[in-house]
Homo-oligomer: A and B are copies of this chain.
């Protein structure tokens, strides 16, 4: 087992222990849905980044593992409440909490889940708590802001590319970045290094989201996991759509807006037509360039951190593996 796998195992075991403990807490109707949401897990990316950041600056401690768990619990809380707001039936192939239980349960258990997230920081020393809890709070609030902008944009005709990039920074990148930063601070990193690893996380996070936008249109159907063109079908205001609307000829813009306003259409026809318009402005190249810019800035921030190069290798590899997804 290599170190990445060992860290994954540490995270999984701590989460499993927590799920069992949550299942035993009273009132069961409050805590069982939290355990259910936490069990339906995903890649546990945030706590893994947290512990990798710890190892970059010193080593993993039990208090650090608890705090890493706090980031994962918070992340899963956001998914739980987002699923109510989106009226989503499924999350990673299983019933969402409000479908399995009911909406009131999902609201209240979500609330308790967010409060629980704070409990995992309470074992840290007073000095470290006073440093990292405000970072966590600020980040949690920014994630809500990102979700609000995302909902606002659905109702808005004139979304700027810059506003979109700010939205994905808030909705996706800040929690990844804060996981790295808090991990670094818990491990005793300087404020400067903590800010650098935070910046690394922001740039990687935004780069990752832009890549997601690209893959939705130009991905390999065999490896993408979802059906290609989902964003196009849903008129999702991605970087590709917003930048194309800015760069496109009058004629193509007319056609693009017509496709967006159509209530009924042939799925394949719409995806092909929109992709053809995207190609006219060479949006793929532009998006890949933008993604590369973010990625380069990520590595530049990583380079500046004041630890030896070999200590940075694991995080550099994670960033590379995210960057090299199958396009």
Contact = CB atoms under 8 A, between A and B. Distances in A.
A209 B118 CA distance: 29
A323 interface: no
A62 interface: no
Interface in A73-128: 81, 84-85, 104, 107-108, 110-112, 114-116, 118-119, 122, 125-127
Contacts of A29: 148, 151-152
Consensus secondary structure, chain A interface:
helix
A84 B105 CA distance: 11
Identical copies in the complex: 2
A24 interface: no
Given A119-B137, A119-B141, A137-B115, A108 B147 contact: yes
Given A27-B149, A152-B29, A108 B122 contact: no
Q: Which 5 A-B residue pairings sit nearest by Cβ, starting from the closest?
A: A126-B130, A30-B148, A112-B144, A85-B104, A118-B137
A80 B111 CA distance: 12
A134 interface: yes
A140 B119 CA distance: 11
Nearest to A138: B119
Interface in A197-212: none
A133 B134 CA distance: 11
30 contacts: A27-B145, A27-B148, A27-B149, A29-B152, A30-B144, A30-B145, A30-B148, A81-B108, A84-B104, A84-B107, A85-B104, A104-B151, A108-B151, A111-B111, A111-B114, A111-B144, A112-B145, A114-B114, A115-B137, A115-B140, A115-B141, A116-B141, A118-B118, A119-B134, A119-B138, A119-B141, A122-B133, A126-B129, A129-B133, A133-B133
A273 to B, nearest CB: 32
Contacts of A137: 115, 118-119, 122
A27 B147 CA distance: 10
Nearest to A123: B134
Interface string A138-178: 10110011011101100000000000000000000000000
Contact of A130 (B26, B129, B134, B152): B129
A62 to B, nearest CB: 17
A127 B138 CA distance: 20
Contacts of A108: 81, 85, 144, 147-148, 151
A114 B115 CA distance: 9
A149 B162 CA distance: 46
